[in-house]
Structure 1
Amino acid sequence: MNKLESDILNRLLHEPFTNKRALAEVSGDSLEIVNHELENLMNEGYIDKSIHLTDKALSEFEQKKPQRAIILAAGVGMRMVPINTEMPKGLIEVNGEPLIERIIKQLHEVGIEEIYIVVGFMKEKYDYLICKYGVHLIVNKDYVKKNNLYSVNLVKKYIRNAYIIPCDIWCDKNPFRRHELYSWYMVSDLANNESNVRVNWEMKLEVIPPKTGGNTMIGICYLVKEDADVVAERIEALCNNPQNSRLFWEEALYYRGRMIVSARVVRSSEVVEINTYEQLRELDCNSNQLKTDAIQTICSVFKVKPKEVTNISVLKKGMTNRSFVFSCKGKKYIMRIPGEGTDQLINRKKEADVYQAIDGRRICDDVVYINPNNGYKITKFWENARVCDPLNYEDVRKCMKRLRHFHELRLKVAHDFDIFGQIEFYETLRNGAPSIYKDYEKTKMKILSLRHYIDSHVTEKVLTHIDAVPDNFLFINKNGMEEVRLIDWEYAGMQDPHVDVAMFCIYALYNKYQVDQLISAYFTEGCNDAIRIKIYCYIAVCGLLWSNWCEYKRNLGVEFGEYSYRQYSYAKEYYRIVQEKIY
C-alpha cells in the first residue's frame, strides 16, 4: 500500500464515502488518480465495491495505530539564551501553557497515555509531570557532550508505533492521530536554508546540498514497527562510534540520499519550532519566560522596554559562562551570564574590584555594567574582533608584548590568587569523592614538592590575569589601529606574573618546543634558566589546578574532553622536566 492509498483509507475511516469527486477534492489529487487508487485498494482487499473498509483494512489500522510517544527534552537549547539560564526549553510557556504540557495534552486527546520523556538539562524541573500526567522520565546523563541521537538510543525499545517529538514545538492544531498507516517525518511548507531535505514529487524527503532551501524540518516523526526496527538498529550502530557524538537522531533515517520514511507536510503557521528568544516573542509577546533576570537587567541599565532589546543571539558557551549578543538603542552589546557552578568557583566582588583597577587603561573589554553579586556583565560588542591564533607566531608575539606591558604596570588589588590553595579548594568540591585518576595522590605530592622552588624564585607579585589563554586575547580595530585586549578577568588577583605565561601554554596544548618559543616571545631580552624552570613548575602546578577544576565541572555534567586529560598530563610531564633540570 503506497502513501496515497493509505491517506485515502485514513480518510474513509473517519468520513463516510459520498462520491469520488468529493474524495479527490479533499485529497488534493485528480479524479483520475483517485479512481486508480480506489481500484488498487479494492483489488488488494482493503475496500469493498461499496467503498467501505474491509476487515483487512481495519486489521491494518489496528496493527499500525499509535501506541506511545517519546519527547526529547534533554538538551540545553543554547540558542534560547537568556531563557535557558532559568528554565529548560520544554517548560517555556506560550499563552500561559508550557510547551511540553501542550504536547502531552494533545497526545492524550488521541488516546496516547504511554509517554516517555528523555531529560537531562535541569531534569529536576520535569519531575512534576510524573504525578500530573503519569509520564516516564528517562535521564540522559551525557546531554552536554552528546546530541539527541543518544537520547533516542536510550528509548529505542519504545519507538515501535511511536511518535518521536522535540520538546520545543508549539502546534496550533493537534498533529497527532488515533490512526496511522505508515511512517513519516514532519516538515513545513516554509523554505529554510538550514534544512538539508526537500520534498520531491513522490512525497519523499531527498537530501539536498547545503544552503539550497529545503523544507523546514519540524522534527516530529512517526514510526511503524517495521521501520522502527530498522531505525533502532541504525541508532545503536551509530552510537557505537564515538565520532558520532554530535549527530542528531534523524541521521538514522537517511539511506541512499533520502529518508526511509515519507514526508508529512504542514503549513508553517500550524507548527512552530521555538529555538530563540526572538521566536518566542513573535509567538507570544506576553510569555512569562521573556521576563528573565537578564532581560530585566538590560532594561534597567539602558532604561528601555523589553521590546527594545532585539537581535538576541548566542555568542558562545565558554568554559565558565554563557554569553549572548543583543542590540539596544542602535548599538550591539554582549551580556555574560555565569554558567553552572560558578558561584562556587568565582568571587564576583573580587572580579568587580579587578575591573575597577584596570578601568580606563584600554587593557580589557569596554564594560558598561557589572554586578558584583550575580556576575552579570554587559560589554560593548566589537565588530570583526578575533581571538589569538596560538599557532600563529606573530599573533602570539603581539599577545605576549601586550601581556608584558600589563604586568609592568604593577597594578594592585586587595586579594591574591593562591594556586596551591585553589587546588585544595577544588578538591573539596568533589565532596569526598576520589579523583578519576588512580595515581592522583602520588602526582599531587610531587606537585606540592615544587612549591619551595617557586617561592624562592618569585621576586614580585602584581595583578595577574590567571586565565591569560589564547581565547581571551582579542584583536580589535579601534580608530583604524589594531589593539590587543584581554577579556574574562574572573580569576585575576595578585600573583607572580609569570603564571600567565604558563597558563597560555597549557590552554593552547603546547608541546615543549612551543612552550620555549612562547617564553622567548615574552622575554624578548632573553630568559635565564631559573625563571624558565619556574615557568615549567607553574605549568605542572597549573595543570593539576585545572585538572581539578575540570573534575568539578565534570560532576556538574560539563565535559572538556581532551583538555581535561591534557591538564593532568602537564602536571606529570613538567614535574619530570623540572626534576631533570634541577638535579
Structure 2
Amino acid sequence: MISRSEFNEYVNHKQYDYIEQYKVTNAIILAAGKSKRFKPISDYCPKGLSIVKGEVLVERQIKQLQAAGITDITLVVGYKKEMFFYLEDKYNVKIVVNEQYDTQDNVSSLRLVLDRLDNTYICSVDNYYPENLFNAYEYRGFYSTIYVENNTDEWIVTTDEYGYINDVTIGAPSGHIMLGFVYFDRQFSENFRQVILDVEGIDEYNHHVWEYLYMKHLDRLKLEIKEFDKTSILEFDTLDDAIYYDKDFLANNVKDSQG
C-alpha cells in the first residue's frame, strides 16, 4: 500500500495508473424512508424528490456523483417508489426496491445491495452539498464529519492513534459529528458484509439506522473521519431545515407543483 502523501501526489499529478485500486467503483443512495418529519410535503412527495433552490434533491446528488466520474449509481427506494422510476431513464441509475421500508430501518436497504459494495460511496437522499465533494479516487474508508459545539443529540465520534473511529457517543457536548456521505473501501465492504451476515436474525438491528450496527462493531469495521467545513454538508432532516436554507421551499413544493 502506498502512503497517503504518495496517493495525494499521484492524484495531484493525475498519475491515475498508479492508484487504480483506489478508484471509487460506485455509489449507493439510500432513499427508501417515509420522512415523517417532512410532513406535509412527504405525504405526497418523497423527500428526495422535493425541490431545493430549483433542483430536485436526489437529482442534484446524482449529477454531482456523475461529474466526479462515478456513473454506477444505485438508488434504494421504498416509500412511493414509483415516483423515482423516471430516474432510471433520465440518469441511467439502477433502482432497487426495499419493500420493508415501513417496518425496518435502512440497514434493510443495505442488505439488498451487499453484492454491490466495493469501493463505494454510501449516500443519504436528504443531504445537500453546495459544492461537489465527491472524488474519483479515495485513499481509505471514511465517514464525513463536521465539528460542532453545544451539541444536543448528534452522534459524536472520536478516533484512535491511527485515525480510525474508536467511539461513538450520542449527545456529547462538542466534537466531530457524523454527517454526510460515507466511503466504504474494499476491505470495509468485505468486513461489513460479514457483520451483516453474522447478525442475521437479530431483530435489534432491524429497527435502527445502519450506523447503529456499525458502532456496535467498531473493532471489525474500520473507518477514518474526513472533516469538512460545516457549510459544506447540509442535512434536511426536518421540513424546517429545508425552509431555513431555501425560503421558497414551501412555494416550490406545494402539491400542485408536484403534478
TM-score, normalisation: structure 1: 0.41
For 1:226, the equivalent position in structure 2 comes to 187
Aligned residue for 2:22? 64
Q: Does 1:248 align with 2:209?
A: yes
Query: Who is 1:89 aligned against?
Result: 47
Alpha-carbon distance in 1 for matches of 2:8, 2:169: 35
Q: Which amino acid is 2:9 matched to?
A: L
Distance 1:198 1:58, change over 3 A: same
Measured in 2, the distance between the counterparts of 1:217 and 1:137 equals 26
1:197–1:205 Cα contact (<8 Å) kept:
no
Equivalent in the alignment of 2:107: 149
Match of 1:207 in 2: 167
1:270 equivalent among 201, 210, 232: 232
* Maintained 8 Å contact 2:33/2:101: yes
Contact kept? 1:235, 1:249, Cα under 8 Å: no
Read off the aligned partner of 1:210 and give its amino acid letter.
Answer: I
Asked if the contact 1:239–1:245 (Cα under 8 Å) also holds between the matched residues in 2, the reply is no
What's the CA shift string for 1:117-138, capped at 9, x where partnerless?
0000011110110110011110
Task: Please state which structure has a larger fraction of its residues in helix.
Answer: 1
2: CA distance, partners of 1:273 / 1:105: 18
Looking at structure 1, the residues matched to 55 and 89 of structure 2 have their Cα atoms a distance apart, in angstroms, of 17
Cα distance change of structure 1 residues 141 and 257 upon mapping to structure 2, 3 Å threshold: same
Identity of aligned residues (%): 27
Deviations 1:18-54 (A, max 9, x none): xxxxxxxxxxxxxxxxxxxxxxxxxxxxxxxxxx97x
Pair 1:288–1:127, CA change in 2 (3 A):
farther
Do the aligned partners of residues 95 and 10 (structure 1) sit closer, same or farther apart at CA in structure 2, a change above 3 Å counting? Answer: farther
Q: Helix, strand or coil: the match of 2:247?
A: coil
- Give secondary structure in 2 for the equivalent of 1:220: strand
Do the aligned residues in 2 keep the contact of 1:190 with 1:267 (CA within 8 Å)?
A: no
Partner SS, residue 182 of structure 2: strand
Q: Indicate the SS of the match to 2:79.
A: coil
Aligned to 2:9: 12
How many aligned positions are there?
251
Query: Which amino acid is the alignment partner of residue 233 of structure 1?
Result: Q
Helix, strand or coil: the match of 1:245?
helix
Return the alpha-carbon distance in structure 1 between the equivalents of residues 219 and 120 of structure 2.
24
Amino acid at match of 1:216: I
**1:244, distance to aligned residue in structure 2 (A):** 2.1
Give TM-score, length-normalised by structure 2: 0.88
In 2, the alpha carbon distance for the partners of 1:200 and 1:128 equals 41
* C-alpha distance 92-180 of structure 1, shift in aligned 2 (>3 A): same
3-state DSSP of counterpart to 1:221? strand
Q: How far has the Cα of 1:205 moved from its partner?
A: 2.5
Q: What secondary structure does 2:195 align onto?
A: helix
The answer for the alignment partner of 1:28 in structure 2 is: none
Q: RMSD value over aligned CA atoms?
A: 2.4
Matched with 1:110 is 68
Between structure 1 and structure 2, the one with the greater Rg is 1
**Post-superposition offset of 1:99:** 1.2
Q: Secondary structure at the match of 1:143?
A: coil
The answer as to whether partners of 2:48 and 2:126 remain within 8 angstroms in 1 is yes
- How far apart are the structure 2 equivalents of 1:200 and 1:269? 23
Q: 1:279 aligns with which of 222, 227, 241?
A: 241
Answer whether contact 1:118 1:139 (CA < 8 A) is retained.
Answer: yes
Deviation at 1:212, TM superposition (A): 1.3
CA contact (8 A) 1:196 1:207 kept: no
Judged with a 3 Å threshold, the aligned counterparts in structure 2 of structure 1 residues 135 and 289 are, in CA distance, closer, same or farther, namely farther
**Kindly tell me: are residues 292 and 229 of structure 1, through their superposed partners in 2, closer, same or farther at Cα, counting changes over 3 Å?**
same
Q: Could you tell me how far apart the structure 1 residues matched to 2:218 and 2:69 are?
A: 36
One of 115, 127, 133 as aligned partner of 1:169:
127
1:510-550 deviation per Cα after TM superposition (whole angstroms, max 9, x unaligned): xxxxxxxxxxxxxxxxxxxxxxxxxxxxxxxxxxxxxxxxx
By how many angstroms is 1:275 displaced? Answer: 0.8
Report the CA distance shift for 1:256/1:154 in structure 2 as closer, same or farther (over 3 A). Answer: closer
Cα-to-partner distance string for 1:108-162 (whole Å, 9 max, x where unaligned):
1111111110000011110110110011110000001100000000001111111
CA contact (8 A) 2:34 2:79 kept: yes
Whole-angstrom distance in 1 between the partners of 2:170 and 2:189: 28
Query: 1:204, 1:258 within 8 Å by CA — same for their partners in 2?
Result: no
Q: Which residue does the alignment assign to 1:344?
A: none
Name the SS of the counterpart of 1:198 in structure 2.
strand
1:195 aligns with 2:154: yes
User: Are the counterparts in 1 of residues 191 and 220 from structure 2 also a CA contact under 8 Å?
Assistant: no
The 3 A distance-change label for structure 1 pair 166 and 85 is: same
Gaps of 5+ in 1: 17-51, 294-583
Q: Distance in 1 between matches of 2:209 and 2:189?
A: 16
Paired with 2:169 and 2:230, the residues of 1 have a C-alpha distance of 22
Q: For 1:103, give the aligned amino acid.
A: Q
